[in-house]
Structure 1
Amino acid sequence: MAPPAAISDFLGGGLNALVQAASPLLLLAVQLRNSVSQPDAAHLREQVIAQVRQFESTAQAAGIAAQTITAARYVLCSTLDESVMNTPWGQQSGWAAKTLLVVFHGESYGGEKFFIILDRLCADFSKHIDLIELMYICLALGFGGRYQIEADGRAKLADIQEELYRRIKAQRPPAAEELAPHWKGIEDRRNPLVRHVPLWVILAAGACLLLGAFLYFFTRLNELSSPVSAQVAQIGLKTAVPPDDAQRRQAQPKVERKSLKQLLAPEEQAGALTVDEKPDGSALVRLNAAAMFASGGTEVADQQIPMLHAITAALNQVPGRVVVVGHTDDQPVHSLRFKDNYALSAERAKSVLQILGQGIDNSGRLESSGAGSSQPIALPPDLPANRARNRRVEILYSPED
């Protein structure tokens, strides 16, 4: 079912092409945030993944740059993941084990990087205004990221949103200077109290009221329907429901393959790496960055290259998506080449990816990303022993469906 005209106008009319392409996901983020239960989170995840891929296709068809689409996808995945994890059912759903960020970017948490990306975009505001508008809307619809856990986080978020709105309004021509003109009342008729409320609060409240009304009436109409079917209808998917396991087994013969953990058993037994494998076949291969790179460097040590070749050979036997993610410790980078730990970790991930790509049968399945110090595995992160563990490279493998 398509959203009502008021909702479509609210997100589509007068806004940039990137926001228009993202509008179904923005609607879904608020819907998820307000939901109280979800009987089939795994199926929901698959449907949301399909929606994210549809966003990519729509944005590409609109002529939006690939780099902008990738950044927007990161922003949307962070927002959707947070919406789920803030629900009463989110923590018990298993969503955290395979978030959208893990699926698309090889990262488990975007609450820190979201604002790092925003800061970088604001350095050239006019060039990146379309993406900044999208991030502004995510904030207005409730995304909090790292500020959710800070004592004065609400006040900081309010300041960020007010500043973004002021700068966006200054950039846009008069005919389209408002991001969402239908949200805003007539100024002269406003209650005096409203004039002291930040504009982002009014915008977010208006969005939630409109979406809440839509979801209430839609739920009432479908209260006797299957919860899964209702979920599919609400997000407006046009894709067919995937066949169940029995149908899939009948449709195609099962090919017995060794798992990635089995294929890399010699390297794991030698202590060169560790493999954490999940029941669904996905796996995380963890490498020690201290052994792979010199301090502050990005060139892979010669003695580590045979191990990477062994990983390449193993990956050639297990079809699926591969994301190489670099991680650093919490010590700031002091280098003219790298502005921060994110840049250093991203470059290290690229170095590993390049070596893997030399022998991989299909290089299109490889991606890389840098997480900086945002995802420590050893806490507290400022202890020397824990810093050594947190400096690492991870290879995330997701099997083909």
Structure 2
Amino acid sequence: MAGKDDDGDKTVFGGPLPGQRPQDWARPAPGPDDGRTAIGGPVQGGSASPFGQPPGGNPGWGSPPAEGQTWIGGPARPSQPPAPQGHQGYPGGWQPPGQGGHSPFGPADPSQIGRAAGPDQRGFFPDIATQQAPQNRVAPRIPQAQAMQVRDLGAASSANPLIASAAPLLILLGRLRTGLVELQVAPLMEHVTREIDRFERNALSHGVNPHEALVAKYALSGTADDIVQNLPGADRGNWQQYSMVARFFHKRDSGVGFFQEAEKALYASAQNYNLLELMLVCLSLGFEGQFRTMPNGAAELSRIRSAIYESLRRVNPRPDEDISVMWTPVVQGRARRFGAIPVPAVAGIAAVALVAAFATLLTLINRDAAVAAEDLRGVALDAPAIQIDRTPGAVYVAEIPQLQRIRDAFAAEIADGRVGVEAKGDYIAIRVGNLQLFDLGSVTVKPGFADLATRIAEVLNAEPGPILIEGHTDNVPVSGRGRFKDNYQISAARAEGVAEVLKPLLKDPARVTTEGRGEDDPVADNAKPEGRDANRRVEIMLAREGTYDAPAPQEAAN
């Protein structure tokens, strides 16, 4: 049985130490540098500090090497020629580590620190294969043309008309937000512009309030700008210069304006439910606006999203969250009713018996009724025939609707393409193109409009109600160096010019008011020249019957 001293020949893993086991661990005489500390300075007071000495007071362990440096940077010992025999007190030429001899583990190489020992660099466990570091997989990029192909959701779309109208654009922004789409700003800008225009038309066709649709268009434009301008890419500067908000609203404040509009909508969350829900979707897609670079911006965004969500839930609470409607458990072990016959079988037998009884009684009654009817016909054969003279009722002549009357009145002008008549909200719009009214860039009415103005005045004199004259332009901005600074001023001046021609021809000029709408209400695509020509127009709006309070008889007489 091995003694307890046999363990002294073992290493950490059980192997014998290299070389001959030392027999006498004699302590060598202290050297001249034994009075230095670990940093290399002399000890104050003439005594050696215990923090600079080797364990057990043996200066052979941990003493500075003979190359001229201490462990931490103290002065070197004087170099001495290597002794041919072993160190004092250590027979056989074996030296403990740190005494200038060769280590049994080879020379100290900093590049080998942290690697396995042994000639094959596999250490004591060669059978364990080194696990390779996983390589990051590069996600495939999606072509932008493919990302812009979004199908109409149809019946699967949202019940919210704003979200349903913006679904293709929202899906595209969600794909761009992933960062996997090959960004090409120029075609993407044109596509997003068309989608925003299409959103506004679809929202208005769904009966959305025009102001609500305009705010939703502003929110979508700001979301598109915020997402695209923060995507990686080399040509984002073009988008920053021609952003959607600047293109449609001539502003660059969507980072702040989005949250201001959301705050306004929260004051009447029931009336603005659809708009708030769309804004919540925009925030969920990644719109951050002014909070993107603000300290604690993420927490503030989370607070705003929670406020909008809670406001929507107060208007429209969530349905019951139970997975199954009929979740009540069935109690087992009760005795079955009606013995061993199930309830559906009993109900079926009862129904068959009831139908049979009904058919029997119906047959008996019909047979007796036929006999009685035959007897009655024999009684009334000799009675004279009774004839009833009926007076034909009055024929109702429906009144021709107001829109049809006006279209009939302008039948010749509509056929020539000089005038267009259509219903527009609470008004009937008589639309006249700019080519018949003004020269390019002018607000002075052409003399050739006089005959058409007389014809329009004749029709308006025959129809009661207020008259609103609206001027419209395309989306091409003015230079701002002339009399008019923007399209709104030009459209208002053109509406005033048409009103000045029509008022003298009307019986009641006080019916006329004017308004400039600029490029806010296009009827065609401004991206095409013919579309811009159609958008430059003047509309003479006649209030529809029933949408205004008719004047009293005395006022009408005056």
Q: TM-score if structure 1 supplies the norm length?
A: 0.45
The structure where helix makes up a greater share of residues is 1
Larger RCO (alpha carbons 8 Å, 6+ apart): 1
- Which protein shows a greater Rg? 2
